Amino acid sequence: MRILKIFFTAVLILLILGFFGSFAGKQILLSTALRQVKADIKFLSKSSTPSGLIQDCLEYGTSFSDDGPLVRTQIRFTSGGNYVLESVCEAEESLRSVIKKKSLPPLVRISKSQSGIIQGQEAHGIELYIFDKTGTIYVDNGIVTTTTKSVDDLNIIFNDGPPTVCGGYGYSCCNDGFQTGQDFQQINALDCPKSCYSSCIEKPVVLNFNSEPAASSDSRIVFLNSADFIEFVYTISNVKGDVFAQENLFSEEEESLGWDDKLLEILEKYSKQDVQTDGVEKVIITFGDGNSEELLDLHGRTEHTYFCNGKTTCVYNVTLQAVTKFGIMSSPGGLSKIQVQVKP
């Protein structure tokens, strides 16, 4: 009994030390990050603009007489924990010169939808966080201030930083072929403005859609005579939504992250994973002549008879689409379409 008492007492002490150690560790890392960014803001205020960038900006068509500065300096995040100090031509975002590349301390991240700070903006700032602890750095009346307290009453703007890549906002470039974007779309993303979303959901993919008689592999056209029947054969991928599946674990831009960044991404994706798993609920074949059919299997076949009562060839566009339980649909086009041309 005495040994058990000593054991449980030791475990309790370790848990208490671990709790306070974790709290102090988070505070130290967050404070270090805030001081680092504050120093970078002050560094930018004293840095000079590269002459080559000024020349490129002038050649683009801007001039010193135009309203506003010719070149601005800024802190721009390229991922949750990495950022650059750079100069940018106001008239053309692609004309930029990187001054420094920096990284936040381990596990510290910028809040999602925020992208950085533009030098000279007043009442603007960013929020940094490490797990459940948040800190703020902002510029007001020319003074750079850091705090771990709430700034709700200060009217600080957080979501008006410089345009950056999708990962810099904490979002993901969804692949239209097998993903659909969810929640907020970031149309200012420099790399994928049409597919940058706060989250990407896996959608079913048409793996095969063909017919007998077979459609041409190039044109996807099949020819029939009126009153002939055709058999359609299809295969659809299921939607597993496994956050730890290797092919879905990291996007291309996330692959370059360090292991501490990747660990945070895994934890974040796992925390967002819905306990309900999605799956293909039905497969709809629209025959193009006003008729359609719903099927329940991921792989199957069905027959249809076409008629053409006119004097010219009748053209019917057949489409295949899979729908999940949560209403996510497969992409149209490509393998999901076959054209049937029927002679009278």
Residue 9 DSSP SS3: helix
What DSSP designation does 170 have?
A: T
CATH code matching the domain that covers 204-241+277-343, chosen among 2.60.40.10, 3.40.630.30, 3.40.50.300, 1.10.1740.10: 2.60.40.10
**Cβ atoms within 10 Å of 98's Cβ, excluding its own:** 12
310 torsion bin: left (phi>0), alpha (psi -120 to 50), beta (else): beta
Q: Which of 13-27, 216-230, 245-259 has the lowest mean pLDDT?
A: 245-259
Residue 55: which pLDDT band, with cuts at 50, 70 and 90?
Answer: confident
108 Cβ partners below 8 Å, 6+ apart?
29, 30, 32, 33, 81, 128, 129, 130
138 Cβ partners below 8 Å, 6+ apart?
123, 124, 125, 126, 144, 145, 151, 154, 156
Q: How high is the pLDDT of residue 248?
A: 47
Write the single-letter amino acid at 121.
Answer: Q
Q: For 263-289, what is the mean pLDDT?
A: 71
Q: How high is the pLDDT of residue 17?
A: 41
- Taking only the tens place, the pLDDT of each residue in 188-233 is 999 999 999 998 888 899 999 999 999 988 899 999 999 999 999 9
Residue 60: which pLDDT band, with cuts at 50, 70 and 90?
Answer: confident
What DSSP designation does 252 have?
A: T
Q: Biggest alpha carbon distance in the chain? A: 100
CA 155 to chain CA centroid, Å, is 28
Please tell me the distance from the alpha carbon of residue 221 to that of residue 312, in angstroms, as a whole number.
17
Domain ranges of the chain: 18-164, 171-202+250-272, 204-241+277-343
Q: Are 336 and 206 in contact (CB under 8 A)?
A: yes
Residue 234 DSSP SS3: strand
Please name the residue that has the structure tokens 């709700």.
152
- Taking only the tens place, the pLDDT of each residue in 321-330 is 999 988 889 9
Q: Which of 148, 113, 146 is nearest to 129 (CA)?
A: 148
Structure tokens at 317: 């566009």
Q: For 314-326, what is the mean pLDDT?
A: 94
Please tell me the distance from the alpha carbon of residue 344 to that of residue 341, in angstroms, as a whole number.
10
